[in-house]
Chain A
Amino acid sequence: MTANICHSALKDMALRESTKCDDQSKSMHTDDTTAPFVQMRNVSKLFVMGDVVVEALRDITLDVYHREFLVVLGPSGSGKSTLLNLLGGLDTPTEGQVLFEGRDLAEFDRRELTWYRREIVGFVFQFYNLVANLTALENIMLAADLVSDPLDPVDLLEQVGLADRADSFPAQLSGGEQQRVAIARAMVKNPPLILCDEPTGALDDMTGRQILRLLLNLKEDMGKTVVVITHNTAIAQMADRVIRLRSGRIVEVTEQASPLPPEKIQW
């Protein structure tokens, strides 16, 4: 039920916000779903740890499109997190390019990279990464401070069904509640790209479904691009496209014409 409330509320908000979105760089991404949004071209990533060289990603070429729900699937150590870090501008590839609007992220200076993380990307983590010392509402407000035109944190908290827990600290919230706060925190900056690192990894299946519904609503109602990395094959059923990784390589790309809603997927 919570998910349905959220669904309609996010829809309302998206309507309101679409008229407000005058930021030039953001408005560029709202229409053309066929054009690649972020691209990876022959990307490899090596980690040198003393005498050992670990090849986390090998020759990855990948396009992420507007309004797409993309699931990157792979076992532990397959390079999922490295891929997400590269998409999010948190790391640079050893070889190849990560392109945003045709520009290589490697060419971005510190200031531009900060802008990219701030305006373009919203992160959701497996362990929520909430600030223990801030209440649910304050955690969202802290992210809202970063952008000139944020969404209303109180509205967002209401949208994720936590209006009555605004004054609770993370330690007073359940895992599902904390993840909902984390999603609201990622959303408050109104970024076009949401990157989720095992968002349901620490949750039971019932709560996990509610979180996935929220994420799907972000795509369907607000037109966001959502990239979820997970080792849970069930989640792949709700993706527009599934990319399977193994040992740092893309082994399979599947497009799904009729993805299942989270309520119907087999966990």
Chain B
Amino acid sequence: MNPLHRKLIRELRASGGVIFSVILITAIGTACFVAMRSAHRSLSQARDHYYAKGRMADFWVSVKRMPKSELRRLSNIPGVAEVHPRIRSPVTVDLPTSEKPLAGVVLSLPDRGLPALNQIQILRGEYFTSRRRNEVIVNDVFANAHRLRLGQSIFVNIAGRRQELVLVGTAFSCEFIYPLGRAAIVPDRTGFGVFFLKESFAEEITDMKGATNEVLGRVFPRYANSKRALLHEIERRLDEFGVLATTPLEDYPSNAFLSQEIEGLATFALLIPLIFLGISAVILNVVMTRRVEQQRIAIGTLKALGYGDAVIGWHIMEFALLAGVIGAAIGCGVGQWLSAGMTSIYRQFYEFPRLDAPIYWDIHLEAILVGLICAAIGGWRGARTALALPPAAAMRPRVPASGRHILLERFGWLWRHVHPAWRMALRYMFRHPIRTATSLLACLLGASVMALIFCMIVGVNHLMDFHFRWLYRSDVTLFLKSERGSDALMEVAHLPGVRKVEPLLGMPVTLRHEGKEKLISVTGIQRTATLTLPRDRQGHHITIPPTGFLMSRQLAKMMGVKPGEYIDWQPMRGDRRWYRTQVVNLMDDYVGTAVYADLTFLRKCLGEGSALNSLQLAIDAGHEQRRAFVKKIRDWPEIEAMIYRADMENNLRKTLLQNIWVILSIEISFAGALFFGAILNGAIISLEERRRELATFYVMGYTPWQIGGLLGRESVVVVIGGLILGIPVGYFFARLVVASYQSEVLRMPLLFPPQVWIQTAIWGCLFSLVSHFVVQIMIHRSRWAEAVKVAE
């Protein structure tokens, strides 16, 4: 080994804490890079693989009822590659493992052979046989959650009739990778099932002989961009069959959620590693410049001995590159482990038959390269400084920095009140502006990432409280199979445990305003209703106008309509006349979009005197009353679906918050590492540079704690500065993130209460204290008596 390499290795060993902080931050950057990019690739490859394998449809058209023969109307639309009919029907399921009837959806499949589109993949059992007509295949996750056995009978309520089905297989469907029940925003593995029936049997039990209520289709790739126009044409051609909804793949809930996650991950996979690797490059820059300064004489001597610039420059760069390689190598390992963790969390959300976290060598290679490039950028300034030194000048000790007053001292009155120890810290910081700015920047980014995380937690909690406690207050919502009169209200009101019942009338309509059209459901509710309370952003209740609409702000934005303006709408049922109604007021909500109208007003518009199609219930809290209620309600044949608010909320909290805590703990640790690394690096450099000065303090009678306090003052200024500047930057990040979560399906609220400031400050200080503790240990272990005479 050549002597320069030996020197390098010894220096690496001796540089301890400083190199540790650089390696730590590089490792975190690389770990984020590897973890997020690997998880992103696993997820997007799995999606693409299963979509291709299952021949995922490009669009869904939901109609009231249409003869299958009429499908030919669509075949000559330019761009439509294929269309296929299917029956889709909501279903409630009675299972011995659940007290309550569970929600599900029935889909028809060809009696023999797989369908042309949205094929399923059998995971257990087999495809339909000719032995029974009532055979059923259930989505695998639901079947496993309820321990359903092959050959077991399952009882479902479909189209008002109780049917016995026989389980022949469990399957995965690319259409339900993120299976959402009615009005749900996260999958409920136990509460929502997908039931595939033979087409002949489905037609029979839903009275759809020779007919269909859903059309799936694909478009030619070159028409992919004009899909919406194409769907519009389909709507026009199928108008007479009562089009209820047309959904392109992008808006199909399962795909929309999955794709939003994949896109978000791609952005984060770029942004977060960039922050960490950028900071590690800046810290390396400071470390390398300092190292060259320390080795001035050695470098001068090497030059005088005849070493060329290239050899010396490379020798300096090697230190930085080695730190980069070690950091990147550790980061690759940790990143792979995190990628496996992220994938296992994704497995809880997304139903893939297989979702692995393989080692993507190219990503690891990229990560090491990126780590090396950042290290090289960090080391470059040091190497350049070393090369610029003429040997004679290098061998002379550096001219002491001239003492001069700093800007702050111009504020005489203020400065006089500053203790000398603080003056020392402030002058030191001002005289090393790059070093101070580096530490400040690292703390700033650490604080901003923490503030962003705490802001998201507050946002998610607020979203859930707003949605489940303020806006929707009913304990149970019953969706009826068909419209009923007020007798249904009476019937339910008399069930045991029911305290209150309020009627709702949901009507699918087409809204039209200034050339924009949208299919949506208008909900009629009583003006005196208390189980649905529309609110504004501050949480104030907004009353339902006697005439006109109350509309979600998001929907109004999408339609380009302002309060007071009129909007055209056409109900998808009945006489399908066009109406013009005023949008009286706007409301705020975070999940989905809604239009509310007075129940009487809506009924009058539709000419349906006392119609209702869903009911909101408040029921007694007692366990016995609830049991009695459930027992009665499961036998009531009118129900299409039932939602328990508490179940939905718990499920959401469980899946969302439980996973969020895992991810957040990692993210907070990473953000904390920025504080830790910045403070450690700054303090250690300061400690090395001012060794003799600090030793003098020791000799004067300062205790190691007091010496630590002198260094700690600089850290305090950096941490406070980082927090003060970083938290507003965190707010800016939060705005960016929230802006990217403003879809029709889900919108994140932007809240930045004092609690976010306090939590960020506490955590930031905590990580900085840990770092200072490490410095304090070093101070305690120092041999100050020897340092006191060391030449500077």
- Chain B residues contacting A119 (CB-CB under 8 Å) are 701
Please name all residues of chain B whose beta carbon is closer than 8 Å to the beta carbon of A133 when the two chains form the complex: 403, 423-424, 427-428, 431
Q: Count A-B pairs with CB separation below 8 Å.
A: 90
Instruction: Please tell me if the beta carbons of A90 and B402 are within 8 angstroms of each other in the complex.
Output: no
Task: Output the nearest chain A residue to B400 by Cβ-Cβ distance.
Answer: A171
CA distance A261 to B23 in the complex (A): 60
- A-contact 0/1 string along B682-706, CB 8 Å cutoff: 0000000000110111111111000
B420 touches A138 (CB 8 A): yes
Contact partner of A118 among B402, B424, B700, CB < 8 A?
B700
Residues 395-438 of chain B: 1 if any A CB is under 8 Å from the residue's CB, otherwise 0? 00000111110000000000000011101100110010000000
Cross-chain contact B699 with A132 (CB below 8 angstroms): no
User: Does A224 belong to the interface (CB within 8 Å)?
Assistant: no
A81 within 8 A of B: yes
Interface of chain B, main secondary structure = helix
Q: Which residue on A lies nearest to B703, using beta carbons?
A: A114
Contacts of A172 in B (CB 8 A): 402-403
Chain A 65-84 per-residue mask, 1 if CB under 8 angstroms from chain B, else 0? 00000000000000001000
Is the pair A145, B420 in contact by a Cβ cutoff of 8 Å? yes
Min C-beta distance of A246 to chain B, whole Å? 20
A129: chain B residues within 8 A (beta carbon): 692-693, 695-696, 788
Task: Tell me, in angstroms, the Cα distance from A219 to B431 when the chains sit together.
Answer: 40
Task: Count chain A CB atoms within 10 A of each CB in B404, B420, B427, B701 and give the residue with the most.
Answer: B701
Size of interface on A: residues with Cβ below 8 Å to B: 39
Is B784 positioned at the interface, with any CB of A under 8 Å from its CB? yes
Given A90-B785, A142-B420; A131-B699 close (CB under 8 Å): no
CB within 8 Å of B: which A155-175 residues = 168-172
Contact across chains for A131 and B403 when beta carbons are under 8 A apart: no
Q: Is the C-beta of A249 less than 8 angstroms from some C-beta in chain B?
A: no
Is B789's beta carbon under 8 Å from chain A?
Answer: yes
Q: Is the CB of A134 within 8 A of B699?
A: no
The listed residue (B403, B702, B784, B785) touching A169 by CB distance below 8 A is: B403
A133 to B402, CA, bound (A): 10
Cβ of A91 under 8 Å from chain B: yes
B420 touches A117 (CB 8 A): no
CB of A141 within 8 A of chain B? yes
Greatest chain A CB density within 10 A among B419, B420, B695 is at: B420
- How would residues 97 to 108 of chain A score, 1 for a CB under 8 Å from any chain B CB and 0 otherwise? 000000000000
Q: Is the Cβ of A117 less than 8 Å from the Cβ of B700?
A: yes
Is A88 in the interface zone, CB < 8 Å from B?
A: yes
Residue of A nearest to B693 (CB): A131
Nearest-Cβ distance from residue B183 to partner chain A, whole angstroms: 65
Q: What's the least CB distance linking B697 to chain A, in Å? A: 8
Given contacts A81-B789, A142-B421, contact A170 B700 (CB under 8 A): no
Contacts of A121 in B (CB 8 A): 701
Q: Is the CB of B401 within 8 A of A132?
A: yes
Among A118, A138, A146, A197, the residue within 8 A (CB) of B789 is: A197
> What's the Cα separation between A197 and B785 when bound, in Å?
13
Q: Are A146 and B702 touching (Cβ within 8 A)?
A: yes
User: With A90-B784, A91-B785, A132-B693 in contact, is A146–B402 under 8 Å at CB?
Assistant: no
A123 shortest CB reach to chain B, Å: 5
A206 to B16, CA, bound (A): 46
- Provide the bound-state CA to CA distance between A121 and B788, in Å: 15
Question: Contact: B701 with A131, CB < 8 Å?
Answer: no
Indicate if the CB atoms of B403 and A170 lie closer than 8 Å: yes
Q: Which residue of A lies closest to B402 (CB)?
A: A171
Contact with A along B14-48 (1 / 0, CB 8 A): 00000000000000000000000000000000000
Distance to closest chain B CB from A199 (angstroms) = 13
Query: Residue B424 contacts which of A81, A138, A147, A189 (CB distance < 8 angstroms)?
Result: A138
* Residues of the A chain whose Cβ atoms lie less than 8 Å from the Cβ of B701: 114-115, 117-119, 121, 143, 146-147, 189
Q: Assess whether B699 is in contact with A171, with CB atoms less than 8 Å apart.
A: no
Q: Which residues of A contact B419 (CB under 8 A)?
A: 145
Which residues on A sit within 8 Å (CB–CB) of B699? 88, 90, 117, 123
Task: Give a binary string over A166-202; 1 marks a CB under 8 Å from any B CB, 0 the rest.
Answer: 0011111000000000000100010000000100000
Minimal Cβ-Cβ distance residue in B for A90: B785
List the B residue with the shortest CB-CB distance to A144. B420
Chain B nearest CB from A138 CB (Å) reads: 4
- The residue on B at minimum CB distance from A185 is B700
Contacts of B791 in A (CB 8 A): 127
B401 engages A171 (CB within 8 Å)? yes
Q: Is residue A247 contacting chain B, with contact meaning CB distance below 8 A?
A: no
Asked whether A134 lies within 8 Å of B788 as measured between CB atoms, the reply is no
A170 to B693 Cα, complex, angstroms: 12
- Indicate if the CB atoms of B424 and A125 lie closer than 8 Å: no
> Does the CB pair B788–A125 fall under 8 Å?
yes
Q: Assess the A138–B784 pair: CB atoms within 8 A.
A: no
A124 vs chain B, min Cβ distance (A) = 10
Which residues of the partner chain B approach A139 to less than 8 Å between Cβ atoms?
420
Is the CB of A42 closer than 8 A to any CB of chain B? no
By beta carbon, the residue of chain B nearest A86 is B785
Q: Which residue of A lies closest to B403 (CB)?
A: A169
B702 vs chain A, min Cβ distance (A): 7
Whose C-beta in chain B lies nearest to the C-beta of A182? B696
CB of A85 closer than 8 Å to a CB of B: yes
A147 to B699 Cα, complex, angstroms: 14
Chain B residues, CB < 8 A from A115:
701
Residues of B within 8 A of A90 (CB): 698-699, 784-785, 788
Determine whether the beta carbon of B423 is less than 8 Å from that of A138.
yes
Query: Measured between C-beta atoms, what is the minimum distance from B205 to chain A in Å?
Result: 87
In angstroms, Cα B427 to Cα A139, docked, is 13
Q: How far is the CA of A141 from the CA of B278 in the complex (A)?
A: 41
Known: A90-B785, A125-B696, A125-B788. A168 touches B403 (CB 8 A): yes
Docked Cα-Cα span, A134 to B422, in Å, equals: 10
| Minimal beta-carbon separation of B678 from chain A (angstroms) | 21
Complex-state Cα separation, A111 to B701, whole angstroms: 10
Measured CA separation A87–B75 after assembly (Å): 103
In the complex, what's the smallest C-beta–C-beta distance from A130 to chain B, in angstroms? Answer: 8
A131 adjacent to B401 (CB under 8 Å): no
Question: Contact: B692 with A134, CB < 8 Å?
Answer: no
Closest to A197 in B: B789
Bound-state CA distance A115–B427 (Å) is: 29
Cα–Cα distance between A42 and B696 once the two chains are bound (Å): 28
**Complexed CA–CA distance, A172 and B400 (Å):** 10
A131 and B788 in contact, given A119-B701, A123-B700, A189-B701 (Cβ under 8 angstroms): no
Chain A hits for B420, CB < 8 A: 134, 138-139, 141-142, 145
A140 to chain B, nearest CB (A): 9
B404 lies within 8 A of A169 (CB): yes
For the complex, give the distance between the alpha carbons of A246 and B424 in Å: 41
How distant is B426 from chain A, measured CB to nearest CB, in Å?
9
A88 to chain B: which residues have CB within 8 Å? 699
A-side contacts of B788, CB under 8 Å:
90, 125, 129
Contacts A138-B420, A141-B420, A145-B420 hold; do A132 and B700 have CB atoms under 8 A apart? no
CB proximity of B787 to chain A, nearest CB, Å = 10
Interfacial chain A residues near B423, Cβ < 8 Å: 133-134, 138
Look across to chain A and name the residue whose beta carbon is closest to the beta carbon of B419.
Answer: A145
Residue of A nearest to B789 (CB): A81
Cβ contact within 8 Å between A131 and B696: yes
Q: In the bound complex, do residue B789 and residue A125 qualify as a contact, i.e. CB atoms below 8 Å apart? A: yes
Contacts beyond the supplied A88-B699, A145-B421, A169-B403: 20 A-B pairs with Cβ under 8 Å: A90-B698, A114-B702, A114-B703, A115-B701, A117-B698, A117-B701, A118-B700, A121-B701, A123-B696, A125-B696, A129-B788, A134-B420, A134-B424, A141-B420, A145-B419, A147-B701, A168-B403, A169-B402, A171-B402, A171-B403
Q: List 29 A-B contacts (CB under 8 A).
A: A88-B699, A90-B698, A90-B784, A90-B785, A91-B785, A114-B701, A114-B702, A119-B701, A125-B696, A127-B791, A129-B692, A129-B693, A129-B695, A131-B424, A132-B401, A132-B403, A133-B403, A133-B423, A133-B428, A133-B431, A134-B424, A135-B403, A141-B420, A142-B697, A168-B403, A171-B401, A171-B403, A172-B403, A197-B789
Q: Which 5 A-B pairs have the closest CB atoms?
A: A169-B403, A118-B701, A90-B785, A129-B696, A171-B403
